[in-house]
Amino acid sequence: MNPQEVFRQISNITGKLISLSFVDEQNYPSIRDYPEGVTQIGLKAELDLSISLKNISYKEIYTALDQAGAFNVRMMDGALIQMFYSFKNEIISSHRLAYFPSPSLEAYQNDPEIYEDDEIYADILSKNVVAFPIRFDFDSNDEIFKAISHPKSHLTLGQYKNCRIPVSAPLSPIVFVKFILRSLYATASNAAGELGIAETSFPNNIHRSEEAIPHLRLTGGA
């Protein structure tokens, strides 16, 4: 996938989620070219995303991101979805794909009768649901890469600094969004089908030592 294809796919995903009434606010992606063949797909506003890595409460992180509009879509339950990509000479160099659930799910869980007719809430109404952020990171920089301890492509659960589960390849936008819908909004995902957007993939880049430990393997990688 090249930058233009990623940009179009994020735009199409955003429009599809809106048409399905899955979101209550959205920010369409932007694409910018920089010197030395760098292209970045992000949001129209210049955003400081370092807040999500600071040692502050999750509620503060979520509130800052929400108020800054640092998301592609805000789901009807308040969850924020981010998709940022960077390319160098048309080849992917990094991505940051994040899901930040609302820290105030109690509002949905304490008054389920308000939401019980809306399929998107079906999977969050249980009292025992614990909200935690999910992030897929990719960085092709060999100086940052360390086999197993810092894979080029990895999954982080929660805000655990050293939680880096190896992933076989970078994720395309549609693969990431389908993962979120299938895993966290199964009822809505089943109703929506496959969103009508074909899955695309990037080449595999997992190190052989990482394949020997538990990891996520994506289908379609070359």
pLDDT confidence band for 27 (50 / 70 / 90): very high
Residue 197 is predicted with a pLDDT of 87
Average pLDDT over residues 19-26: 90
pLDDT confidence band for 219 (50 / 70 / 90): confident
Give the span between the Cα atoms of 161 and 170, in whole angstroms: 20
Residue 198 is predicted with a pLDDT of 86
Residue 196 is predicted with a pLDDT of 81
**Packing angle of the helix pair 173-184, 3-19 (nearest 10 deg):** 30
Instruction: Kindly list the domain boundaries of the chain, sorted by start residue.
Output: 3-212
Give the span between the Cα atoms of 182 and 171, in whole angstroms: 15
Cα torsion 205, 211, 213, 214: sign: positive
Give the span between the Cα atoms of 122 and 158, in whole angstroms: 22
Q: What is the mean pLDDT of the chain?
A: 86
Average pLDDT over residues 96-118: 70
Q: Pairing between strand 73-75 and 38-43?
A: unpaired
Residue 159 is predicted with a pLDDT of 82
Residue 161 is predicted with a pLDDT of 84
Residue 9 near residue 71 (C-beta atoms within 8 A): no
Q: DSSP string spanning 134-165?
A: EEEEEE--TTT-BTTTB-SEEEEETT-TT--E
Question: Higher confidence at residue 151 or residue 49?
Answer: 151
Residue 169 near residue 218 (C-beta atoms within 8 A): yes
* Percent of the chain at pLDDT exceeding 90: 57
Residue 59 near residue 13 (C-beta atoms within 8 A): no
* Percent of the chain at pLDDT exceeding 70: 79
Backbone angles phi, psi at 11, to 5 degrees: -60, -45
Beta strands in 89-133 (DSSP E): 91-100
Give the span between the Cα atoms of 42 and 71, in whole angstroms: 9
Quick: pLDDT tens for 172-209. Answer: 999 999 999 988 887 666 655 668 888 899 999 999 99
> The whole model's pTM is what?
0.87
Average pLDDT over residues 115-140: 73
pLDDT at residue 169 is higher than 70? yes
Cβ neighbours for 167, distance < 8 A, ≥ 6 positions apart: 136, 138, 151, 153, 154, 155, 206, 215, 216, 218
- For 132, the token pair is 């935690």
In this structure, the dihedral spanned by the alpha carbons of residues 20, 21, 24 and 29, taken in order and rounded to 10 degrees, is: 10
